[in-house]
Amino acid sequence: MASTDQRWLPFAACSGASTVALALAVTAGAATRSWSGNPNSNAASNITHPPSTTRPLDHAAARSGSAFRTPSHCASLVPPPAESLPMPITLTVFEDSPDRGRGLARDMQVRWALEELGLAYAVRGVSFATMKGAEHLARQPFGQIPAFEEDGLTLFESGAIVLHLAERHPGLLPADPHARARALAWMFAAVSTIEPPIVEWAMARMLERDADWFAARQPMLEERVRTRLAQLAARLGERDWLEGGFTAADLLMISVLRRLERAPMLPEQPRLVAYIARGEARPAFQRAFAAQRALFEARARAND
Amino acid sequence: MASTDQRWLPFAACSGASTVALALAVTAGAATRSWSGNPNSNAASNITHPPSTTRPLDHAAARSGSAFRTPSHCASLVPPPAESLPMPITLTVFEDSPDRGRGLARDMQVRWALEELGLAYAVRGVSFATMKGAEHLARQPFGQIPAFEEDGLTLFESGAIVLHLAERHPGLLPADPHARARALAWMFAAVSTIEPPIVEWAMARMLERDADWFAARQPMLEERVRTRLAQLAARLGERDWLEGGFTAADLLMISVLRRLERAPMLPEQPRLVAYIARGEARPAFQRAFAAQRALFEARARAND
């Protein structure tokens, strides 16, 4: 992993009136600093600034939300000198994630990639109502999260954002051209072959549970997932990762598989259970998980 | 588009006992030559060779299948001198496509990309039974088509194969880094945001049409597709293509949208109808369509 000491970039994004911004600056490795934008700010545009105080992330504190602090004058903060700091990365995420901080929303894979690569980022939270508005649709044409912004570039699709990051920073794609091409194939497989039957199964449980046909359809939906899991487990075999060392393909695949955490089909494939556990054990995963968890818990307290 | 006169590579692949190989060599532009491997060959491995006769593709003839011819001694054909010809691309496709030659199987997007880039390729047909066997699963871990082979590299996932080709040959991705990143985002959007609800809708029509709940669920499935089409049409706006000129993103998106050819939701979005038509009007699309159609029709005649 690249050293990012000189890239460490503390800043906070303040929100437009329709969004709540929680900003999080992150370093590679152990030292992580975080704080929040002012949820009550009416600043018309995002402003970056160095924090007046920072401290290493305490994971337990982050989980309880106490690693965040609120600048008192978000709208009047002074941007840092442009020549000394790169343009920050801003990630737009759920203001109130429907997964309740379990790291199952699709910003998780981008946060994880940013942590693996040691890249600092700010977070902008959007409400469900805001996500369908013109401002967010300009960033994300399907009214979803995440959206990614950096240096005038706005991207959507978690798979594409992870690929974009992996192409520009070493550490998440093999150097060998053939191995790289196969890793990209697994990235596409994660989001277009493994994820769709998982989402179909999960959506039916969420939206059709009270329908007359729910019980009758479940075995079919489970079987579709089961088939893909068996094929994936067969190909993974005894290896730790899909293509050599850990790559962006594992990052996306494990993120997709994590949606099955409560599914009866997953324990049938112990290789995949172990594969997910290997991914979740990575320090970068844990930092990403803590960051999204802290955001959820801060919101939960604010909503109390 | 790159000139490919010197890359034009006539060859035919002969089949193993469990597969039927139909090989097709293609040039950029108007001149296309094609012929078939011997379906009855028991050759243990694929062999490439120059054809003894070639002729420009007659599209009408291709549609009727007469552009194909069968070498009589496929297993004993002499490979071309290695120094004069690059390693051929081999695409594994349905031996009998369930779409009956309508170009809706996922080899179509790879064929289209190969035609846009002027790359020659051979085709290996696999039966539904063969697709679930170890030989094919080694190429494609989910027992699907297409699989792509070139120079020791085996790839799966149509999106990844198209991206691999677009990265290595000019013509299907913008040169500007930001535009390129956005085109990649649309590639992911095609296969992981637009395609899944279309497949869910299509699969229900195919597999659940006789179920008690079919009629009750259809409006929900149609609405999921309708929402994505409206968002896509809104973003496309008055432009011809998603990101500047025609890119791999349009190639994948139009390929995905073509599965809606009989859906009532598509005519509600005239911009998308026109977008699909623009894609289908491209000569490379038409050559790719003719090639897969000719394969289907040749098989249909063989099965008579």
pLDDT digits (tens, 9 = 90+) for A133-146: 999 999 999 999 99
CA distance B248 to B124: 24
- Those of residues 92-151 in B touching chain A at CB distance below 8 A are 137, 141-144
Find how far residue B201's CA is from the centre of its chain: 22
What pLDDT is recorded for position B11? 30
Contact between chains at A137 and B231 (C-beta distance less than 8 A) = yes
Question: Chain B contacts of A182, Cβ < 8 Å?
Answer: 153-155
What pLDDT is recorded for position B44? 27
Residue A33 has pLDDT above 80, yes or no: no
Specify the pairing of strand B32-34 against strand B24-26.
Answer: antiparallel
The answer to whether B155 faces chain A, any CB pair under 8 Å, is: yes
Smallest CA-to-CA distance from B276 within B243, B244, B236 is with B236
Contact between chains at A189 and B160 (C-beta distance less than 8 A) = yes
The answer to whether B174 faces chain A, any CB pair under 8 Å, is: no
What are φ and ψ of residue B10, in 5° steps?
A: -80, 130
Residue B160 has pLDDT above 80, yes or no: yes
Task: Name beta bridge partners: A149.
Answer: A90, A154
The answer to whether B210 faces chain A, any CB pair under 8 Å, is: no
Question: Chain A contacts of B176, Cβ < 8 Å?
Answer: none
- Tell which wins on pLDDT, A199 or A300: A199
CA distance B260 to B119: 28
pLDDT digits (tens, 9 = 90+) for A251-272: 999 999 999 998 999 999 999 9
**Average pLDDT, stretch B95-123?**
96
State yes or no: cis peptide before B146, omega within 30 of 0: yes
Question: Chain B contacts of A153, Cβ < 8 Å?
Answer: 178, 181-182
Residue B172 has pLDDT above 80, yes or no: yes
Using 50, 70 and 90 to split pLDDT, how confident is the model at A50? very low
CA distance A45 to chain B (A): 22
What pLDDT is recorded for position A62? 35
Contact between chains at B160 and A185 (C-beta distance less than 8 A) = yes
Please tell me which of the candidates A142, A178, A196 has its beta carbon nearest to residue B153.
A178
What ipTM did this prediction achieve?
0.78
The answer to whether A205 faces chain B, any CB pair under 8 Å, is: no
- The CATH class, in words, for A5-172+285-303 is alpha beta
Q: Domain limits of chain B? A: 5-171+285-303, 177-245+247-281
Residue B235 has pLDDT above 70, yes or no: yes
What are φ and ψ of residue A123, in 5° steps?
A: -125, 135
- Tell which wins on pLDDT, B67 or B83: B83
What pLDDT is recorded for position A92? 97
CA distance A68 to chain B (A): 32
Lowest-confidence pick of A164-173, B54-63, B212-221: B54-63
CA distance A228 to chain B (A): 7
Question: Chain A contacts of B223, Cβ < 8 Å?
Answer: none
- Tell which wins on pLDDT, A41 or B301: B301
Lowest-confidence pick of A22-31, A209-218, A290-299, B230-239: A22-31
Question: Tokens 């060599």 identify what position?
Answer: B25
- Does residue B148 contact residue B155 with C-beta atoms inside 8 Å? yes
Phi-psi region of B118 (alpha: psi -120 to 50; beta: other; left: phi over 0): left
CA distance B4 to chain A (A): 23
Lowest-confidence pick of A215-219, A299-303, B203-207: A299-303
Using 50, 70 and 90 to split pLDDT, how confident is the model at A84? low
* Share in percent of chain A as helix, strand, coil (round to 5): 50, 10, 40
Please tell me which of the candidates A164, A200, A220 has its beta carbon nearest to residue B181.
A164
What pLDDT is recorded for position B85? 58
The answer to whether B156 faces chain A, any CB pair under 8 Å, is: yes
Question: Tokens 């008690």 identify what position?
Answer: B212
The answer to whether A228 faces chain B, any CB pair under 8 Å, is: yes
Question: Chain B contacts of A192, Cβ < 8 Å?
Answer: 157, 159, 191-192, 195-196
The model's pTM is 0.78
Using 50, 70 and 90 to split pLDDT, how confident is the model at B304? confident
The answer to whether A243 faces chain B, any CB pair under 8 Å, is: no
Contact between chains at A155 and B235 (C-beta distance less than 8 A) = no
Contact between chains at A192 and B235 (C-beta distance less than 8 A) = no
- Tell which wins on pLDDT, A269 or A41: A269
Mutate to test the interface with A, among B161, B192, B198, B213 (most CBs of A within 10 A): B192
Question: Chain B contacts of A185, Cβ < 8 Å?
Answer: 155-157, 160-161, 164
Q: Looking at domain A177-245+247-281, which CATH architecture does it have?
A: Up-down Bundle (1.20)
Residue B74 has pLDDT above 80, yes or no: no
- Does residue A16 contact residue A43 with C-beta atoms inside 8 Å? yes
Question: Chain A contacts of B213, Cβ < 8 Å?
Answer: 211-213, 216-217
Lowest-confidence pick of B78-92, B175-189, B194-208: B78-92
Residue A245 has pLDDT above 70, yes or no: yes
Question: Chain A contacts of B144, Cβ < 8 Å?
Answer: 193
What pLDDT is recorded for position A36? 32
Question: Chain B contacts of A155, Cβ < 8 Å?
Answer: 181-182, 185
Residue B148 has pLDDT above 60, yes or no: yes
CA distance A114 to A153: 16
Lowest-confidence pick of A55-64, B171-180, B261-270: A55-64
Residue B28 has pLDDT above 70, yes or no: no
**Average pLDDT, stretch B127-135?**
94
Question: Tokens 């805001």 identify what position?
Answer: A130
Residue A72 has pLDDT above 70, yes or no: no
Find how far residue B104's CA is from the centre of its chain: 8
Highest mean pLDDT among A77-86, B21-30, B43-52: A77-86
**Average pLDDT, stretch B71-98?**
62
Please tell me which of the candidates B153, B178, B195 has its beta carbon nearest to residue A192.
B195
What pLDDT is recorded for position A303? 84
The answer to whether A214 faces chain B, any CB pair under 8 Å, is: no
CA distance B288 to chain A (A): 22
pLDDT digits (tens, 9 = 90+) for A90-108: 999 999 899 999 999 999 9
Alpha helices in A151-282 (DSSP H): 158-168, 177-189, 195-207, 214-236, 248-257, 270-280
Please determine, looking at this structure, whether the domain spanning B5-171+285-303 carries the CATH number 3.40.30.10.
Answer: yes
CA distance A211 to A222: 17
pLDDT digits (tens, 9 = 90+) for A121-136: 999 999 999 999 999 9
CA distance A256 to B205: 26
